[in-house]
Amino acid sequence: MFDVQINKLTKKFEDNVAVNGIDFKINSGEFFSILGPSGCGKTTTLRMIAGFVMPTAGEIFIGNNDITFQAPEKRNIGFVFQNYAIFPHMNVFENISFGLKMRNIDQKQINEKVKIALEQVNLIGYETRYQRELSGGEQQRVALARVLVTEPQILLLDEPLSALDKKLREEMKIWIKELQKKLKITTVYVTHDQSEALTMSDRIAIMNKGNISQIGTPDDIYEKPQNTFVADFIGTSNFINLKLINSSSGKSKVSFSDIEFEIDGDFNDNFKCILRPEHLFINPTNKSELVSVNARIKIISYQGSLIKYIVEVNEQTLTAEFSNSMNLNRLKEGDNVTVGFNPNSLVIIKD
């Protein structure tokens, strides 16, 4: 059952095509993220779903209802803004109850609903505090409660964590995901932060220049990028220069640094090949299954729980990444090593 359906949605600002005829469907209770670089059209898409921006063409359905040109207040949607925008002259209770008062709901019901919303965001006891007496994370939780209290069918979040510091962002992203799962509320989350999207989402739409480059689960997007943009934008990708020797009947013979091996698929010269850094091994022990070549360690970079090795193989620079707990400490920059990868770990992209 789809809660949101977007058909050929387009927005032009004069000559600038901000959103270029995109399509997607969001399942009921799904956490769906729109991820992409600045200016790719994410916020415009979200604002069209909310009704703050009118589309140039296309359709938006919520359930079976065509809401493309419906007024925002009729859509049963909750929108949490980037800068959380809670009213400074109202305390927490007044902030959360504001939307209900506008709807002329009686005080007893308001008290009950606000209590539920405060419980949902763990802010019982904070009712009389003002914005200046709340941390950034608490303000963001008030902003969420203010939206949840109206019991929206769809929750829209526009970069809601971008004003928080890194540690709080890490905590909040787990917290929002848990809350969303508990409430089973269909959620559209806009972000340019890939770690937020990968951690929180059931599915992600990657946007680039007004178009959708790929839609998939976090796993799909990371393990099976369908084009160069996604491979480059998500995580680190080694682009491996393979030489095509021949290709027929669903198998291709290729070479890397003069080592020949076979990969699945028929290709002409128009293909690119990527390898994620965790699939490039240094001084591997099980060489027989791997394509192994000589390399030199150029840079070793400590990243806390991970260590990154930048290695040179012939003319190519490749990145390998290991958990800090793996005992590779004896390696130094400048060391000659063997690097290897399993051909099955390569992702072939035909752009």
Q: Which of 44, 150, 257, 319 binds ligand ATP (CB under 6 A)?
A: 44
| Crossing angle between the packed helical segments 107-120 and 136-148, to the nearest 10 degrees | 130
Q: How many other C-beta atoms are found inside a 10 Å radius of the C-beta of residue 179?
A: 18
If the CB atoms of residues 81 and 239 are measured against ligand ATP, the closer one turns out to be 81
CB of 213 to ligand ATP, least distance (A): 13
**Which part of the chain contacts ligand ATP (CB under 6 A), choosing from 42-50, 198-206, 258-266, 318-326?**
42-50
Bridge pairing between strands 154-158 and 186-191 = parallel
CA-closest candidate to residue 158, choices 62, 18, 33: 33
CB of 44 to ligand ATP, least distance (A): 3
If the CB atoms of residues 113 and 192 are measured against ligand ATP, the closer one turns out to be 192
Residues 170-209 that bind ligand ATP (CB under 6 A): 192
Alpha carbon distance 305, 159 (integer Å): 27
Report if residue 87 touches ligand ATP, rule: CB under 6 A. Answer: no
**Which part of the chain contacts ligand ATP (CB under 6 A), choosing from 34-42, 58-66, 177-185, 322-330?**
34-42
Q: Which of 6, 24, 43, 117 binds ligand ATP (CB under 6 A)?
A: 43
Q: How many other C-beta atoms are found inside a 10 Å radius of the C-beta of residue 174?
A: 11
CB of 103 to ligand ATP, least distance (A): 29
CA-closest candidate to residue 114, choices 100, 130, 104: 100
Alpha carbon distance 300, 311 (integer Å): 9
Q: Name the residue type at position 61.
A: F
If the CB atoms of residues 19 and 198 are measured against ligand ATP, the closer one turns out to be 19
If the CB atoms of residues 72 and 265 are measured against ligand ATP, the closer one turns out to be 72
Q: Which of 4, 32, 33, 42 binds ligand ATP (CB under 6 A)?
A: 42
Q: Which of 39, 137, 152, 343 binds ligand ATP (CB under 6 A)?
A: 39
Element (H, E) at 254: strand 251-256
Alpha carbon distance 292, 257 (integer Å): 9
If the CB atoms of residues 143 and 263 are measured against ligand ATP, the closer one turns out to be 143
Burial of 98 (0-12, 13-18, 19+ CB in 10 A): middle
CB of 2 to ligand ATP, least distance (A): 23
Q: What are phi and psi of 100, to 5 degrees?
A: -75, -40
Report if residue 38 touches ligand ATP, rule: CB under 6 A. Answer: yes
Count of residues binding ligand ATP (CB under 6 A)?
12
Chain centroid to CA 266: 31
Residues 8-27 that bind ligand ATP (CB under 6 A): 13, 16, 18
CB 347 within 8 A of CB 274: yes
If the CB atoms of residues 230 and 347 are measured against ligand ATP, the closer one turns out to be 230
CB-based contacts of 265, cutoff 8 Å, min separation 6: 247, 250, 251, 252, 348
CB of 174 to ligand ATP, least distance (A): 23
CB of 75 to ligand ATP, least distance (A): 19
Q: Which of 40, 96, 242, 273 binds ligand ATP (CB under 6 A)?
A: 40
Q: What are phi and psi of 293, to 5 degrees?
A: -140, 160
CB of 329 to ligand ATP, least distance (A): 40
Query: What string of DSSP letters covers 208-272?
Result: ETTEEEEEE-HHHHHHS--SHHHHHHSS--EE--PEEEEEETTEEEEEETTEEEEEES---S--E
Interface ranges with ligand ATP (CB under 6 A): 13, 16, 18, 36, 38-44, 192
